[in-house]
Amino acid sequence: EAEVAQSPRYKITEKSQAVAFWCDPISGHATLYWYRQILGQGPELLVQFQDESVVDDSQLPKDRFSAERLKGVDSTLKIQPAELGDSAMYLCASSPFRDRSYGYTFGSGTRLTVV
Partner 1 sequence: SQQGEEDPQALSIQEGENATMNCSYKTSINNLQWYRQNSGRGLVHLILIRSNEREKHSGRLRVTLDTSKKSSSLLITASRAADTASYFCATAFMNRDDKIIFGKGTRLHILP
Site residues (vs partner 1, CB under 8 A): 4, 6, 40-45, 56, 89, 91, 93, 99-109, 111
> Shortest approach of partner 1 to residue 60 CB, angstroms?
14
> Shortest approach of partner 1 to residue 88 CB, angstroms?
13
Query: Under a CB-based contact definition with an 8 Å cutoff, are residues 111 and 11 in contact?
Result: yes
Residue 28 or 42 having the CB closest to partner 1: 42
Residue 28 or 40 having the CB closest to partner 1: 40
- Give the dihedral of Cα atoms 31, 36, 42, 45; nearest 10 deg: -40
> Shortest approach of partner 1 to residue 81 CB, angstroms?
26
Residue 85 or 102 having the CB closest to partner 1: 102
Residue 78 or 111 having the CB closest to partner 1: 111
Task: Please tell me the chain's helix, strand, coil percentages from 3-state DSSP, rounded to the nearest 5.
Answer: 5, 50, 50
